[in-house]
Amino acid sequence: MTATGTVPAATTSTLAGAITAGLREAMRRDDSVILMGEDIGPLGGVFRVTAGLQDEFGADRVRDTPLAESGIVGTAVGLALGGYRPVCEIQFDGFVFPGFDQITTQLAKLHYRSGGRLEVPVVIRIPYGGGIGAIEHHSESPEAYFAHTAGLRVVSPASPADAYSMIQQAIASPDPVIFLEPKARYWSKGPLPTEPIDPADAAGLQSARTVRAGRDITLAGYGPTVASLLSAAEAAAQDGVSAEVIDLRSVSPLDVETVAASVRRTGRLVIAHEAPTAYGTGAELAARIAEECFFSLEAPVRRVGGFHTPYPANTHEHEYLPGIDRIIDAIALSFEE
């Protein structure tokens, strides 16, 4: 495996196209990288993220599998122990649960159970989140289940640039990685990196990034909510509120220090994610900020997320999702305390 990659040929891309480009770069760099999943070969997957890769690398390295998520993950564990770096695609978020036992009881624990002797460098790609008008079991946000499981990295890119670099960093990681892809943002466009990336640099797998500077309040999120937070920050600016926006990028581990450094300056924090607010990533981050920044906070930490109900029918999903209006309401409440 070489230390650095090449610069992407395109200067801009959709988020889905950036993942495709990142997968291609990782496969060119390392012959041990194998893609596995349902309909990922000639079809290119439901969202066409693997389109063209089987033509380029062959059916041995881009493998169509049976419709059996437990079998996909279990096979990937065996391949990883045999020296390969499998990348599994789960068609939709709600379909990951048949493979949940393999992920949480085998994949997450083998390194610890072996006293560090075994590595299982498996990436589980999961299109997740709502906003596309899908049917039941196609709009879940299951990140808290995996973040609660020690031994797994859980990450989610919010931009094409991060999607391109983070998928390569995930594949190069010696740890198993749950790679959550915000499906509602698959078609959003943005610039790609202009410098070669070092896949061994795991910054995107553990470090948050400030995407908008501000002085009055901190807004934090990841994946699909980052764009909503940026839009809410723009709206707040019209009312004279300067909002700093932080893209967490990693759900586990959480980069608490980047958020804490911001909150110590702004005194306020709003956290947004599509998953239910109850027992979610926002609850963990809010607790950590309360512990570390108690005397800096000017108002309680506010969380904006899904409700504690099953994901609704698509005709009602925009009432469920944390849209710009709900984020702005949370910002306003932070200044009323």
Residue from 233, 296, 305, 232 nearest 267 by CA? 296
Judge whether 12-205 and 209-334 match in fold.
Answer: yes
Residue from 174, 172, 255, 242 nearest 207 by CA? 255
- pTM across the whole model: 0.95
Which listed residue (111, 137, 138, 308) is catalytic? 138
What's residue 203's pLDDT? 85
What's residue 4's pLDDT? 64
Strands 269-276 and 302-306: parallel
User: 41-65 pLDDT, tens per residue?
Assistant: 999 999 999 999 999 999 999 999 9
Name the architecture of domain 209-334. Answer: 3-Layer(aba) Sandwich (3.40)
Taking the domain 12-205, which CATH number applies? Answer: 3.40.50.970
Reported as a pLDDT band with limits 50, 70 and 90, residue 3 is low
User: 124-145 pLDDT, tens per residue?
Assistant: 999 999 999 999 999 999 999 9
Tokens of 249: 């990028």
What's residue 8's pLDDT? 75
318 is a catalytic site residue:
no
What's residue 1's pLDDT? 45
What value does the mean pLDDT take over residues 31-36? 98
* Percent of the residues in the chain that have a pLDDT greater than 70, as a whole number: 98
Residue from 82, 141, 87 nearest 110 by CA? 82
Average pLDDT, the chain: 95
What's residue 52's pLDDT? 97
- Taking the domains of the chain in order of start, what are their residue ranges? 12-205, 209-334
What value does the mean pLDDT take over residues 70-96? 97
What's residue 195's pLDDT? 85
User: 113-125 pLDDT, tens per residue?
Assistant: 999 999 999 999 9
What value does the mean pLDDT take over residues 234-259? 97
> How far is residue 10 from each of residues 6, 55, 190, 276, measured CA to CA in Å?
12, 20, 11, 37
What value does the mean pLDDT take over residues 268-289? 97
What value does the mean pLDDT take over residues 78-102? 97
What's residue 2's pLDDT? 46
